[in-house]
Amino acid sequence: MTTTRKPPVKPGMVYRTSYFANCSSNPTRLVSELVRCGKLQRLQGGLYLAPAASRWGELLPQADQLLNAWLKGRQGSDWVFTGSESWNALGLGATAVHAVRWVYNKRRSGLVELGGHKFFMRKIPFPAHPPAEWVVVDLFNHAKYAAVDTALLLTKLTEAVAEKRFDPALLLKMAKRFGRKTTQLFVASAVNKDDK
């Protein structure tokens, strides 16, 4: 006989089946009952959404909550958003917009559609809680995807370093650790021009 207590389910949250292990000795059955009564929606094997509604209809789950549950990790340490949204915010001339959000993580690669969101997953190393200097290095590494000329990027980065918008020492450190050889050369050139 299974023991069950009322599970705490909040609208808009994403859950794994394992979350309900404290509420029932048979969490799979409990989740099935919650799906049948409409308190949960199945997103993917073992991943469920507690639906939330606004006056305009059903809301999509928040991308960060979705990825935290799906990748069994936390944003900033186990995975990180990058791509056009992050690159454009640097003010270095990148203006491309991607329809799919880029996610660097430690588990998966490929194009994934999950809970109404599309993600381009890549297993690429990144620092915990990446600073803006790492995003600069990532932009140089992927300049062709940002549809920006590296000469323009170099000019803008040199100006930004001169204006003290980025830490030169941290830029060099991030480039050495995470940058391609060409990225390392570009960053060193931008930092050295500022020193002169």
Q: How far is CA 29 from CA 22, 24, 71, in A?
A: 13, 9, 23
Same domain, 120 and 186: yes
Q: What is the DSSP letter of 92?
A: S
Domain limit, last residue, from 5, 31, 58: 58
Q: Answer yes or no: do 20 and 115 share one domain.
A: no
pLDDT at 1: 45
pLDDT of residue 8: 78
Examine the domain organization and report whether 48 and 127 are in the same domain: no
pTM of the model: 0.84
**Total structural domains in the chain?**
2
Single-letter code of the amino acid located at 155:
T
DSSP string, 133-148: HHHHHHHHHTTTTTT-
Do 123 and 74 belong to one domain? yes
Nearest one of 68, 3, 65, 7 to 34, comparing CA atoms: 7
Domain that holds residue 134: 63-195
Radius of gyration of the chain (CA): 21
What is the β-pairing status of strands 41-44 and 47-49? antiparallel
Instruction: For residue 115, give both structure tokens.
Output: 């809970």
Name residues of the chain where pLDDT drops below 70: 1-5, 194-196
Enumerate the β-bridge partners of residue 14. Answer: 49
Residues 73 and 160 in one domain: yes
The answer to whether 108 and 122 have CB atoms below 8 angstroms apart is: no
70 within 8 A of 107, measured Cβ to Cβ: no
Task: Name the 3-class secondary structure at 155.
Answer: helix
